[in-house]
Chain A
Amino acid sequence: MAEDYKVQLEVFEGPLDLLLYLIKKDEVDIYDIPIELITRQYMQYMELMKMLDLNIAGDFLVMAATLMMIKSRMLLPAEDRPEMEEEEEDDPRWDLVRQLVEYKKFKDVAGHLQLMEFHMENVFTREGGGIQLGPDTDRALQDVSIFDLISAFDSALKRIKQEDLREIFAERFTVGDKIDYIIHNIRSKKRIVFSSLFEGMATRHEVVCTFLALLELIRLKQIRAEQAGRFAEIEIVATEDFETAGVAHE
């Protein structure tokens, strides 16, 4: 049962989000991206996503290829680079930078729209109507970005000791069990720190199951991941819907 358990988390955030995230995290200049470093980190995230069996969209692969190409072109002296169509600039990073900068503008303006959305939530008209959107607005994962979660998952993984490779164990953990485990924890403590979820876990398998359980619960809107600020410690809290919908993991 555990094998065919696939998390259908829709990672809407794309490769540009990931790049901006890395640029911000490393505090590097968007106009002078250290391509080697960023490419390496980008590939690490791809590895993690693969390990979690998240459906990596083709877009991520395309960007990986683009990064690799830029990296290889940067290694060549300018005069040896093969001619590219419509490349006015000498810097192979330029196209990407332009795309990132443009995307960032829209990201910022989206933030602005969000503030307007919040404002309008308290505005009603005579009918009491106001504008209400339907129920399905994809609000899962709004509070913490998927990359923050994956980042935290990575550090949880690194904390476990080297696996003992001599014995083969039957799989003792399932995502379903871990869902129960998290629900039980949330019920008693109301709020748990992300990293404490993985305390005492000895195998990668267990950590992965727990993380997938976490994602599933977020998707079901039973819990929410919150963060005081960017890169701060992630905390897990119950949502208003906690347990009202029951746990549909069978």
Chain B
Amino acid sequence: MSEIMVLPELKQIAGALLFAAKQPITATRIREVLAQVAEEQGGAYADFASLKDSDVEAAIRQIGEDLEKAHLGIVLGDLAHGFRFENDVACGVWVRRFLEKGKPNRLSRPALETLAIIAYRQPCTRGEIEGVRGVAVDAILRNLMELQLVRITGRSELPGRPMMFGTTQTFLEYFGIKNLNDLPGITELRRPEDGKPVAEESVFEEPAAEAAPAEAPAPETPAEESTEEEPHES
């Protein structure tokens, strides 16, 4: 094909998208954008159409390494199923001052305990939470839902069809967690009977998130294998 113009390399494009994104962005999402542009523009742009998620992710990781080497005060964050640019945590004091964020609100211990139970046992009912904590959790649960750290994920098949609760995307972002399998001590604290990883798909349809870059599956979910190959080969 004819090389009329010099296109930026993958790493540059990925970096630009990371820069522009408001929320953590996935490799899959970047690959989709590349494919869309390839279709619209054709020509040399089409070269990017055959990339896989793993290629994009490698480019993103390279950006992370470059940033680290360059000591720019900016690092690559890897959380909430995606990537984003964030400040080096060591520089946080100054950023906090500059942005006039004041003293952060922190969760109380009872709230953290309740959240921990939901995070590790999700989806779970209020009864299960109270069984572990030995105390009523109505008010805390309501509070956590208002803070958008917890949401209703459905109804249980138990008598009375009680509501089931799970954590949100905001939860992952707030604590800087990659995905639910990245929770500290997850293997030990998972509900004894299910040996399988926590139901990851429950985290996706986040209602409030503005312009959420849609259903990008988490890196570890089995769903990913299928999306990875099919779309652009043919």
Which chain A residues have a beta carbon within 8 Å of chain B's beta carbons? Answer: 10, 12-17, 57, 59, 63, 99, 102-103, 105-107, 109-114, 116-142, 145, 240
User: How far is A107 from B86 in the complex, measured between Cα atoms in Å?
Assistant: 30
User: How far is A130 from B102 in the complex, measured between Cα atoms in Å?
Assistant: 13
User: How far is A175 from B131 in the complex, measured between Cα atoms in Å?
Assistant: 36
User: How far is A145 from B177 in the complex, measured between Cα atoms in Å?
Assistant: 28
Distance between B114 CB and nearest chain A CB, rounded to angstroms: 8
* Contact among B91, B132, B135, B183 with A13 in the assembled complex (CB-CB below 8 Å): B135
* Contact among A13, A126, A131 with B19 in the assembled complex (CB-CB below 8 Å): A126
B189 touches A12 (CB 8 A): no
Please give, as numbers and ranges, the residues of chain A lying within 8 Å of B86 by CB-CB distance. Answer: 123-125
Closest 3 CB pairs of A and B: A122-B92, A14-B135, A12-B110
B99 touches A128 (CB 8 A): yes
Please give, as numbers and ranges, the residues of chain B lying within 8 Å of A139 by CB-CB distance. Answer: 105-108
User: How far is A214 from B120 in the complex, measured between Cα atoms in Å?
Assistant: 36
A106 touches B143 (CB 8 A): no
User: How far is A142 from B183 in the complex, measured between Cα atoms in Å?
Assistant: 23
Q: Which residue of B lies closest to A128 (CB)?
A: B99
Please give, as numbers and ranges, the residues of chain B lying within 8 Å of A135 by CB-CB distance. Answer: 105
User: How far is A135 from B99 in the complex, measured between Cα atoms in Å?
Assistant: 17
* Contact among B89, B106, B116, B188 with A123 in the assembled complex (CB-CB below 8 Å): B89
Distance between B42 CB and nearest chain A CB, rounded to angstroms: 32
Contacting chain A: which of B3-11, B50-58, B167-175, B222-230?
B167-175
Q: Chain B's interface: helix, strand, loop or mixed, by majority?
A: helix
Question: Does B199 reach chain A (CB closer than 8 Å)?
Answer: no
User: How far is A138 from B87 in the complex, measured between Cα atoms in Å?
Assistant: 28
Please give, as numbers and ranges, the residues of chain B lying within 8 Å of A126 by CB-CB distance. Answer: 19, 84-85
Q: Which residue of A lies closest to B102 (CB)?
A: A240
Please give, as numbers and ranges, the residues of chain A lying within 8 Å of B139 by CB-CB distance. Answer: 10, 12
A133 touches B147 (CB 8 A): yes
A-B contact pairs, 20 of them (CB 8 A): A10-B139, A12-B110, A12-B135, A13-B135, A14-B135, A106-B133, A110-B109, A110-B113, A114-B112, A116-B176, A117-B174, A122-B96, A123-B87, A124-B96, A131-B174, A135-B105, A137-B143, A138-B107, A138-B111, A139-B105
User: How far is A129 from B173 in the complex, measured between Cα atoms in Å?
Assistant: 11
Distance between B142 CB and nearest chain A CB, rounded to angstroms: 10
B189 touches A117 (CB 8 A): no
Please give, as numbers and ranges, the residues of chain B lying within 8 Å of A13 by CB-CB distance. Answer: 109-110, 135
If A123-B89, A125-B85, A138-B108 touch, does A112 touch B99 (CB 8 Å cutoff)? no
B177 touches A133 (CB 8 A): no
B140 touches A107 (CB 8 A): no
B173 touches A134 (CB 8 A): no
Please give, as numbers and ranges, the residues of chain A lying within 8 Å of B117 by CB-CB distance. Answer: 106
A114 touches B146 (CB 8 A): no
User: How far is A135 from B135 in the complex, measured between Cα atoms in Å?
Assistant: 24
